[in-house]
Amino acid sequence: METRELRYFVAVAEELHFGRAAERLGIAQPPLSRAIGQLERRLGAQLLERTSRSVSLTDAGSVLLAEARAALDAVAAAERRTRRAAQAPSGRAGLVLGSKAGAANELVAKLLAAYAVEPDAVEVDVLLLGPGQQEQALRDGRADVAILHAPWDDVAGFDTEVLVVEDPAVLVQAGHPLTARDAVDLTELPEAVGVPAPRWPDREGRYAEGPGPEVHDVTQLLQLIALGRTYLVAPVSAATLAGEGVVAVPVTGAPPVTTLLAWPPQSRSVALARFVRVATLR
């Protein structure tokens, strides 16, 4: 299977519509139909159930969709990491650290400072991303190492080292009834706040349907919280970035939030190994 075929299949499987998928791929619809047909024939597997009115995935198609996404990420990662390795002079390729925009700022700053004074330290670029985007960046090679928060982020498939374990808190508008309390229990949560959770863009940059406001960065989110339009559950350390009009209330009965460093397991970079060591020694 060629990556082109996988890209084509993923497009159709996601759109469930040959015409739109073809448009998204920048090709005409007939070659796309033919390519999918050839792929099915060669795999000996029906991937899509199609009538002239609808397209749906078969079981085999669902399997291929998940596997193809992983494979395409791996190919994208290969391309990006090779490009980056080639730019830098021998052995000095920089690192890209993926981090939640705005979250764990202090921790990241200390980490970078501690690493920077190491002998043989390489340049570290920080890639600020929305929630759930760091994992993806790690998988597709945009980042070499990332700050993740278990259990919210999916750590599966990465090597990890725990940095901090803390309790979660809920960030709400100052003056909100909850702020009069010492803590709120997890079981009360969506209702006790009274405002909908924010919606973040998915991997295609689109927003799912729902009641909450659409947000794409943390400053914007904090403003919306300060305006009483939404709320956020975050590690208590996030309280430091809360600022005017936003108050953190501890959440009880919830599993602790683990802030951890994650990186792809096949990585053999000495710079990365050193970075991880510095991070965990502190």
Partner DNA sequence: GCCATCCATACCCGGGCGGTATCGGTCCGG
Partner DNA sequence: CCGGACCGATACCGCCCGGGTATGGATGGC
Q: Are 260 and 161 in contact (CB under 8 A)?
A: yes
Q: Are 261 and 273 in contact (CB under 8 A)?
A: no
Residue 6 touching a second copy (CB under 8 A)? yes
Residues in the chain: 282
From candidates 14, 17, 126, 188, binder to DNA by CB under 7 A: 17
From candidates 22, 64, 145, 221, binder to a second copy by CB under 8 A: 64
**Site mask for a second copy (CB under 8 A), range 153-182, x = bound:** ---xxxx-----------------------
State in angstroms the smallest separation of the CB of 269 from a second copy: 8
Q: Rounded to the nearest 5°, which phi and psi values hold at 52?
A: -75, 0
Give the integer Cα–Cα distance in Å for 190 and 231: 9
State in angstroms the smallest separation of the CB of 18 from DNA: 3
Q: Are 237 and 248 in contact (CB under 8 A)?
A: no
Residue 31 touching DNA (CB under 7 A)? yes
- Which of a second copy, DNA, none does 64 bind, CB closer than 5 to 8 A by kind? a second copy
State in angstroms the smallest separation of the CB of 46 from a second copy: 7
Within 68-216, strands assigned E span 95-100, 124-129, 145-150, 159-166, 168-173, 184-185
- Which of DNA, a second copy, none does 36 bind, CB closer than 5 to 8 A by kind? DNA
Q: Which is nearer to DNA, 33 or 179 (CB)?
A: 33
Residues 6 or more apart whose CB falls under 8 angstroms from that of 54 comprise 16
Residue 150 touching a second copy (CB under 8 A)? no
Within the chain, strands assigned E span 48-50, 55-57, 95-100, 124-129, 145-150, 159-166, 168-173, 184-185, 232-235, 246-252, 257-263
Binding site for DNA (CB under 7 A): 4, 17-19, 26-31, 33-38, 50-53, 55
Binding site for a second copy (CB under 8 A): 1-4, 6, 43-47, 58-60, 62-64, 66-71, 73-75, 77-79, 81-83, 85-86, 90-91, 93, 141, 156-159, 264-266, 268
